[in-house]
Structure 1
Amino acid sequence: MARANRMQAAAIDRFGGADEIALHTLSVPEPKADEVLIRVDTASVGPWDPSLREGEYFEATKEDRPSFPFVLGVDGAGTVVAAGKRVKRFREGDKVYGYDPDIAKSGFYAEYARLKARHAAPVPNGLDLEQAGAMPADALTALTGLEAIDLKPGEKLAIFGASGGIGHIALQLAKRMGAGVLAIASGEDGVALARHLGADAAIDGHSSEVDTAVREFAPDGLDAVLITANSNGLEAVLKAIRKSGRAAYPNGVAPEPKARAGVKLQGYDGRSEPELSERLNRLIEMGQFTVHVASKYPLGEAAEAHRAVERHHLGKVALAVQPR
């Protein structure tokens, strides 16, 4: 598959606000022996991206800072145009999605991105490149969390933040794993989305009736809780976890959740590895699956996409890298 030597990328020359993001003309990267080069179709815009843009992430974690210009975007989807000599899983023309945990490396807000083959996965049947590109980090983080709490068929699970990027995907995965799901969502539109996606019960997390909804859903207590946000209403949910119940949250949820004695509460990081992606794809391919893209922007409007991700929205914000 032919590829250009130069590409357009949304990048920053220094840390700062959304206005720092601008289109740059850069060289197309060359894949290393264990990498694939992807012609990016869609890039995800995550709630963590503003923190990367502002440099706060690197200050907080003490991880290596990126070099400038820094191409943002840790996940997306597209078509393989080249593969390193040690890559056996993929070949030119394959449709793939990926999440790169090497945060400081130039990313997916570009016409081409290189990615270690172990962090790439085939686009599952039933999803197009737009949906696949919007989901990787959130979907893998959702499944990592459900596995961290060892969710079992027949258990009653509450998802706090069920209309967000991680939450709306976790809801669907949990139902396919056989759990009953109470969705605590954001706003009436979030409640409507959660119900549409198959939640057994749903309520606005800002409602004064959260504790009532939890008691009605799980009179004997919740088996588990997946926490993707922390706001009013979470305390009532955590109090409803039965003795020896489990709860988990992705690291970065603030303020850090607290649970009563006897409840196993753990923070975790989303993973990106072939075995996890295979399990994710199997669950997705069990039936119709929705990656809800609330809004999408062309590559040249990446700054506006960053503003959008910091406002109330359902599901995902994405960049349409290739012209539609």
Structure 2
Amino acid sequence: MLVVNPDTPSHDTWALVPKPDPEPGAREVIVDVAAAGVNRADLLQVAGSYPPPPGAPSWPGLEVSGTVSAVGPGSRWQVGDEVVALVEGGGYATRVLVPDAQVLPAPHGVPLVDAAALPEAVCTLWSTLGAARLTAGEWLLVHGGSGGIGTVAIQLATAMGVHVATTAGGPDRTARCAELGAELAIDHRSADLASEVHRVAPDGVDVILDVLGAGSLATNLSCLAVEGRLAIIGLQQGSRAELDLGLLLSRRLTVLATTLRSRPRTQKAEIVAGVAEHVWPLVESGQVRPVVHDRVPLAEAAHAHRRLASGEVFGSLVLVP
């Protein structure tokens, strides 16, 4: 098989290098990759600030779609099944090894290539919004609604009966977020976030899905309703900030943080099972769809990373071998 080697001494391209084909063990499958999703976590890994967990491949890639080409003993999948998979690393390749329990059937009505943009987003969202106890009728504020996770979050929350507010950069991007279901789409470049939030939700929002981290902490807390929950899944604006504990006490606020990649396989299996039961029907009904900005050749993975870092991408990029 071929894999992307980000250690290639060039800023323009990364080499595709051969690696031995993996062999499936018990309750594992080999997937011939149709596409691999590109995530900001991949950019962090290449920059050296988000190393893969022990035992995972050293090259990037957290989600793939493709066709099962081999199965290990006890697998519930069959050769020829079209699937999507949540992987611990190594998705930027022509072939991947995946635990059975981290595989989902490719959703009907979604092109197999585009489906590669779903596993990481839906698993992150299902686990995070569950931890935040988000329920129908509440308000959710999604930071970065034009991103890969944000575009899915807007659709998923809307399908759950949740009122969605979101942020994005520029009128074109906010308009597209509104088309996905956001009742309020705020241009973070020109609008005051707290004022806009309280205009539609006078008491504040119930849950905030935050990819920014430290830089938005004070503003986020000011946007929360009594007993509101701030769920942090990213640190794009830093990891250290001063926290007013008195504010948390007086308004009974919760600050929580979740990750997906570093969880043990048992927890990932539970998350994938929850997605299969609760989210996959929404995907197959068309209520939740991957928003794919572009399909990029695997050999141009470095270019895909630069595009994602630039902020030009609306939704996701996928790499195609």
TM-score normalized by structure 1? 0.85
Partners of 2:27 and 2:279 in 1: CA distance: 23
Q: Contact (CA 8 Å) 1:17, 1:53: kept in 2 or not? A: no
Give identity over the alignment, percent: 31
Q: Which of 43, 58, 82 is the aligned partner of 1:50?
A: 43
User: Which deviates more, 176-185 or 19-28?
Assistant: 19-28
Aligned match for 1:264, one of 229, 249, 254: 254
Is the Cα–Cα contact under 8 Å of residues 220 and 230 in structure 2 kept in the other structure?
A: no
**Cα distance, 1:85 vs. partner?**
1.0
> In the alignment, which residue of structure 2 is the partner of 1:314?
314
Structure 1: runs of 5+ lacking an equivalent: 1-6
Pairwise CA distance, 1:76? 0.9
Listed as ranges, the matches of 1:34-45 within 5 Å are 34-45=27-38
Aligned: 1:76 with 2:74: no
- 1:46 partner amino acid: N
How far off is 1:214 after superposition? 0.6
**Distance in structure 1 (CA, Å) of the matches to 2:301 and 2:92:** 8
The equivalent of 2:289 in structure 1 is 290
* Matching of residue 239 in structure 1 with residue 222 in structure 2: yes
Range 297-306 or range 286-295, more displaced: 286-295
Pairs within 5 Å for 1:138-287 = 138-230=121-213, 235-250=218-233, 252-256=235-239, 260-261=247-248, 262-270=252-260, 272-273=268-269, 274-278=272-276, 279-287=278-286
The gaps in structure 2 that reach 5 residues or longer are 261-266
Tell me the SS of whatever aligns to 1:71: coil
Equivalent residue for 2:22, pick from 9, 25, 29:
29
CA distance in 2, matches of 1:296, 1:18: 20
Quick one: structure 1 residues 193 and 272, their matched pair in 2 at CA, closer, same or farther if it must change by over 3 Å?
Answer: farther
For 1:252 and 1:231, the matched residues in 2 are separated by: 7
Matched residue pairs, number?
304
Amino acid at match of 2:268: S
1:209 maps to a residue whose letter is D
User: Which residue in the other structure is 1:11 paired with?
Assistant: 5
Letter in 2 for 1:289: V
Paired with 1:288 and 1:65, the residues of 2 have a C-alpha distance of 36
Is the Cα–Cα contact under 8 Å of residues 10 and 22 in structure 1 kept in the other structure?
A: yes
Change in 2 beyond 3 A, CA 1:197/1:143: same
Q: Identify, as 1 or 2, the structure richer in helix.
A: 2
Deviations 1:156-195 (A, max 9, x none): 1111111111111111110111111111122223202211
| Equivalent in the alignment of 1:4 | none
User: Any idea what SS the aligned residue of 1:207 has?
Assistant: coil
SS at structure 2 position matched to 1:139: helix
**Residue type of the alignment partner of 1:8:** L
User: What is the CA deviation profile of residues 256-285 of structure 1, one whole-angstrom value per residue up to 9, with x for unaligned ones?
Assistant: 475741211100113632313312212323
Partners of 2:217 and 2:166 in 1: how far apart?
12
Establish whether residue 97 from structure 1 lines up as the match of residue 84 from structure 2.
yes
SS of residue matched to 1:10: strand
Cα RMSD (Å) of the superposition?
A: 2.4
**TM-score w.r.t. structure 2 length?**
0.86
TM-aligned CA deviation for residue 295 of structure 1: 2.3
Give 1:290 deviation, angstroms: 2.6
